[in-house]
Amino acid sequence: MYFVFPISRKRSESVTAIRPRRTIPLAGFAAAAALLAMPAAARAADCAGLAQRLALPHARIVLATEVAGGAFQDDTRLPDGEVKVYRSLPAFCRVRGVSSPSADSEIEFEVWLPVSGWTHRLHMVGNGGYSSNLYYAEMAQRLRAGDVAVATNTGHRGKDLSFGIGHPQKIADFAHRAVHGSAVAAKAVTAAYYGHPARYAYFSGCSTGGYQALMEAQRYPDDFDGIIAGAPGNNRSALNMAFLWNYQANHRRGDDQHPLLDAGDLKLINHAVVARCDPLDGVTDGVINDPRICRFDVGELQCAKDQAKGCLSPEQVTAARRIYAGPRDARTGAVIYPGYPFGTEGVMASADDEHPGWTGYWANPDKPDEPQRVDFFRYWVFADPQWNWWSFDWGRDVDTVRARMASTFDASSPDLRRFAARHGKLIMFMGWQDPVGAPPEAIRYARAVRAATPGADALLRLYMVPGMAHCAGGPGATNFSSATRDSVPPVSDAAHDMAVALEDWVEKGAAPRALIATHYAGEKGERRVAFQRPLCPYPQVARYRGGPQAEATSFVCAAPKPVRKG
């Protein structure tokens, strides 16, 4: 059964073409169907009434209130007591709900619906880490653009992994059900409030948000028309094993008190790498354009006889080499997860970055004598609070992790045929200097999708971002998306803004090509353009062709130089 709705559209940029109205299946809106007989004015204006009159499958509304335009104060406090205020917002209907797909589920979600000026788009934003915080800043950005904004707490509260202890259903909620259930509920709320469904549905996120994005494309291809997946860490079980590998690589076995490399050593390595590899693209700007063509051996920094400063000991050189190589299966030597490329060692995401480069994830910053994400192994894999990370067997236990976690926890399936069949569009991006998820893993996944999904060129674009740390920041041109955190471009159009480029791809069939990415200069929060670069669709890279080095037009997207082996 289908309903057909006429569509109007509004957005700040000029629109040269609007696709004809389309049929929208009733599935997903069954809970709102009875509301279609209500007077249109009541449906579009009565926010508070949603809580009383809207029944949702496996979900309930706990708050529905209209918020006046202007400033919105976050009603959750940060650990330091700070209260965030989001300004310049239009008036909106704020709906908070709880979804319970299982008896052990309590998935909180919010839907912000603009009172006027709706673009007929719904746009859900993702999360970060294992935190339950909703990204109100990104919801505010989507609301300012005229979209219905949606977010979820992923089914738990807090930022550690304790929520999964003895609660496999909550792990499933975090892994994939929270986003799906929240999206279904948000679509029903939207249809009830406006009198018809959203014309288009989008999802965008980075880090865990990127992981959620790929989960959606793989498991729930009907939820969204367009998806942005940044720095996804989708091979998540293997990523947690990589954190453990890096911790062990940086310590003598059994010694948790004395790391071999520290932040100063990483700064030393990073400076040497940048000095060697930065000029390879013809421009010396502090940015490694393509680390794959960089030829550097950390052994060059090994201390000479009687040298004590500005160098590395043989043991430190070995530690760095192990991290560059990445975890291997002790039985076969097979790659478990890619190693980190040159340039990730001590990259500063910002001038006040307290945990640059590898220091943020090779150990728990709050407990530096234990590996990052150790509770994944303690509680989720081995169900043993006393589990010792030095006991991990890089053969047998690799199999155990995969057997117990991968089917629920990983978003690694390259088969996107169902998403492609409904003409879904997926944009991935990854920073070449990302010290969290290894950049080569994004390339590996994109290649796998192209091999497993016919017509993948009509479905997928990957952008590898030179000089970008995790999701944003770093020495490169890293501002190119109004839909992911800390990456706001100077202009919101299809040439500068990945979110608008995705909309044009979905709604007008205009596939994205090179984007213009920006690096800002000045004090924190100042947005003075320092330089711009073309952000090229993989496998192309930006190549300098002459002219002012600060201008994107001085570069052209071209095939990469051959990667030399050895």
Contact between residue 313 and residue 254 where contact means Cβ atoms under 8 Å apart:
no
User: So which residues are the catalytic ones?
Assistant: 207, 434, 470
Amino acid symbol at 543: R
CA distance 285 to 549: 9
H-type alpha helices, 295-388: 314-325, 374-375
- Residue 149 Cα distances to 93, 121, 191, 522, angstroms: 10, 9, 14, 31
β 85-89/121-125 pair status = unpaired
Which residues pair with residue 285 across a beta bridge?
A: none
Residue with tokens 């018809």: 196
Closest C-alpha among 558, 487, 381, 468 to residue 137 = 487
- Residue 453 Cα distances to 77, 242, 349, 424, 446, angstroms: 44, 28, 35, 12, 10
Distance of CA 421 to the CA centre of its chain: 24
* Residue 406 phi, psi (nearest 5): -60, -40
Give the number of other Cβ atoms within 10 Å of residue 522's Cβ.
Answer: 10
DSSP string, 8-36: ----SS--S--PPP-EEESTT-GGGGGGG
Residue with tokens 């007591």: 81
| Tokens (6 digits) for 86 | 């989001």
Query: In 3-state terms, the chain is what percent helix, strand and coil (to 5)?
Result: 35, 20, 50
CA distance 511 to 532: 21
The phi-psi region of residue 203 (left if phi > 0; otherwise alpha if psi is between -120 and 50; otherwise beta) is beta
